[in-house]
Amino acid sequence: MLKILLIEDNQALLDKLTFVLEGLSGVEISTATDFFKAQKVINEKKDINLIIADYRSGHTKELNLFQKSVSSINCIISLDDLDDTDQILGWKVIEKIDRGSLASKLKESIEKLKQADPTENLKFCRIKTSILLETSPLHADIYAKLSETKYLKIFLAGDVFDAADFTKYTEQKKIEYMYLREDSCKTFINKYISQIDEFTKRHQPPTHDQLSSMNMIAYESVQELTNVLGFTEEVQQLAKSHVQMTVAFMDKKPNLQKMLAKMKSHKGKYITDHAYMLSYISCSIATNLEWASEATFFKLSLAAFLHDFGISDHALAACSTLAEAKATGLNEKELTAFKNHPFVAAEQVKKMSEIPPDVDVIIQQHHELPDGKGFPRGVTAAHIAPLSSVFIVAHDMVKNIFFAPPEGFNLNTYLLEAQARYQQSSFKRVLAAAKKLELEA
C-alpha cells in the first residue's frame, strides 16, 4: 500500500488533492499544512512511503530538519519553476510537478507509481479478503490484482488488517479477494490452521451461517492453494483441520429445517453449500443407523468436503448423470473429465497422510447407483461400500433440496420417489434412516 503524506499549506488545495487521492485504490493519505506538522506525522506513523510536498509549506529551518529525517522516502514535489532545484536538494525526488497542474497530474503519477511494482512473472494465490481478519497480522505482503499480470502491494508483512480495513476494501472498494505471493502461502496456511484450531477449542459453537461461510472460505482456499502449490502437506492439513472443526461443532442429530431455509438463499454457491449440507445430512443418516462415531463423522465430512474437488462449475457439480452433464454443453474431452472426477478426487485424498482408507472409496463411489447405472465404474449395490451408500443417498437428497419446488422440499415425497432407485437392502436401510430426519421445510 502507498502510505502517502501530503504537505500543502493552502487548505483548499490540500482538501482538493486529498479528495483526488482518496479515490484511488491502495493508498492511505495523511495530511499536514506545514513541515512541523509533517514531522509529527512521520514520527507517529513509521510507515509513510511517499511524500507529496509543496516546498513552500513552511519555514526554511523546519524544511531542512524535515528533509533530513525523510531523506530515504520517495517524494513527489510541486514547484512553481521546475528548474528550481535549490530547495529540493534534501528530498529523494522521484518526480517534479508544476504547482499549477498538481491536482490534474498527481493522480496519473500515483497510478504509474503503483504499476511500477515489479510483480510480473510472479505466481499469486487468491484469498478471500475476509480471511485476512482472522489471520492478521500476517507475515506476508498482501496484494490487490490490477490486471492479469499486475498486482499492487496493499499491505506489508506484519501490517494489521482490521475491521475498518475490511469495510474499506470489501464494502467501499468491492475487493472480495486479495492475493498472496506463492512464496508466502505457507505462512498464510500455518496461520489459518492455527486460527481454525483455536476456534475449535472454543466452547461456544458457531451458528450454521458462520459454519457455512467458514466452509465456503476453507473450500475456496484449499482449492486455490492446491492450484498454485499442489496438494501439499500444509494444504492437506488445512483441509483436515477445517473438517475436524466442522465435526467438533456438528450437532449430531440436528433439526435441519433452519439450515434448509438458509441454504435456499445461498444459490449460486452450489459446490460449497452442497458439500456443507452433505456433511450434515450424511452424518445425520449415519446417526439414525446407529453408526455414530467421531471416526465415521470425520470420514463422511472429509469425503463431503473433497468429493467434487477439481470441479469449478456449479451447474456441472449439480449433475447426477453423464447425460445431464452432456446436456450442459460439454465436449467429449470435458465429459470424460467429468466422468473421471470421482477417480481424480479419490486419488487426491489417497495422498493425504493419516486418513482412514474408506474416505477415498466414498469419494470414488459418490456417483455410483445400486442398479449399476452410475459412474465412473457402473458397479452394482453389492460392490458399493456401506458408508458410500449413505453418502450417495445424502448426495441425492441434497440436490433435491437445492432444486426443490417453490413450496419447499418434502421428505416423504422425496422418499417415495427415491424408493425406486434404492431398492437393494443396504440402500433400503439408508432410506429408512433418512426417513427419521426432520427435513420438511
Residue 354 falls in which region: left (phi positive, over 0), alpha (psi -120 to 50) or beta? left
Minimum Å gap between C-beta 341 and Fe ion is 6
CA distance 267 to 264: 6
Q: Is the peptide bond before 357 cis (omega within 30 degrees of 0)?
A: no
368 touching Fe ion, by CB under 5 A? no
Which CB atom, from 169 or from 414, has the smaller least distance to Fe ion? 414
If the CB atoms of residues 275 and 289 are measured against Fe ion, the closer one turns out to be 275
Pick the stretch among 40-48, 94-102, 308-316, 409-417 that binds Fe ion (CB under 5 A). Answer: 308-316
* Residue 308 or 360 having the CB closest to Fe ion: 308
> CB under 5 A: which stretch of 24-32, 304-312, 383-391, 431-439 binds Fe ion?
304-312
Residue closer to Fe ion (CB basis): 28 or 308: 308
DSSP 128-177: ETTHHHHHPSPSS-EEEE-SSS-EEEEE-TT----HHHHIIIIIIS---E
Closest CA to 21 of 96, 76, 98: 76
C-alpha to C-alpha distance for 276 and 291, rounded to whole angstroms: 20
Q: Which stretch binds Fe ion (CB under 5 A): 179-187, 188-196, 290-298, 300-308?
A: 300-308
Minimum distance of Fe ion from residue 320's CB (angstroms): 9
Task: Choose between 161 and 231: whose C-beta lies nearer to Fe ion.
Answer: 231
Give the residue with the Cβ less far from Fe ion, 131 or 362.
Answer: 362
Transcribe 185-236 into DSSP letters.
Answer: HHHHHHHHHHHHHHHHH-SSPPPHHHHHHHHHHHHHHHHHHHHHH-S-HHHH
Query: Contact between 220 and Fe ion (CB under 5 A)?
Result: no
**Amino acid in the structure at residue 371:** D
Strand (E) or helix (H) holding 397: helix 386-402
Cβ neighbours for 19, distance < 8 A, ≥ 6 positions apart? none
Closest residue to Fe ion, Cβ-based?
308
Give the largest CA-CA distance in the chain: 93
Q: What minimum distance in Å lies between the beta carbon of 340 and Fe ion? A: 11
Number of residues that bind Fe ion (CB under 5 A): 1
Q: Residue 235 or 392: which CB sits closer to Fe ion? A: 392
Could you tell me which stretch among 28-36, 163-171, 306-314, 380-388 binds Fe ion (CB under 5 A)? 306-314
Question: Cα angle vertex 236, ends 231, 239, to 5°?
Answer: 120
Residue 308 binding Fe ion, by CB under 5 A: yes
Q: Which is nearer to Fe ion, 165 or 368 (CB)?
A: 368
Is the bond preceding 356 in cis, omega lying within 30 degrees of 0?
no
Q: Which stretch binds Fe ion (CB under 5 A): 15-23, 120-128, 279-287, 305-313?
A: 305-313
Residues that bind Fe ion (CB under 5 A): 308
